[in-house]
Amino acid sequence: MRQGWPLLVIFCSLCLAACAGTTNPKERVPAALELDFLDKQKVELQACLERFDGTKIERRGDAVVITILCDTLFESCSERIKPAACPEIDSVAEVIKKYPKTKINVDVHTDCIRSEEENLALSELQAWTVKKAMADRDVAASRITARGWGESRPAASNATEAGRQANRRITIKLTPNQS
């Protein structure tokens, strides 16, 4: 019986080695792949959006965040997109379409000039408008979540016009789709 143990150990070792070899290499290093994936998007977005004033692109952890001032994109106190902003939307949509595994969150924020209810309603309409504009440019609507926050998350003080302008913003957050 003792003579069979070395064979059993060898057999088990071979089985474990075979099982380990069948693992998909992509499954072993997803974090590294996600970093590459997001960094590529960030570089492409920076290249096509650098000419637009009021647009900032940054990497925040496992996300790429695009911040666009509402004054750049929308007509004053409206959900209508300015015709001059269409190339900006076109540029973002073109890059996003190249990366179908990216989840897109569109958040719209306002200042506090109007009532809280009016600001929330306006930001929700603007968020829906951005989602629709992306979908109209062949970005799958199922990838996009849109939400208006109204004045509830200011980025600056509403005491000055510069602060209010900074608060009127759209953030588009790109993250790896986990499904």
Fold of 29-176: 60s Ribosomal Protein L30; Chain: A; (3.30.1330)
Can you give the residue ranges of every domain in the chain? 29-176
Q: Would you give the DSSP letter of residue 159?
A: T
Would you place residue 119 in the very low, low, confident or very high pLDDT band (cuts 50, 70, 90)? Answer: very high
Q: Which pLDDT score is estimated for 21?
A: 46
Three-state DSSP at 92 gives helix
Least confident of 50-59, 91-100, 107-116: 50-59
Got the DSSP string for 19-50? HHHTS-HHHH-HHHHHHHHHHHHHHHHHHHHT
pTM for the full predicted model: 0.77
Question: To which residue do tokens 């969150």 refer?
Answer: 105
Query: Of 142, 56, 128, which Cα lies nearest the Cα of 92?
Result: 56
125 pLDDT above the threshold of 90: yes
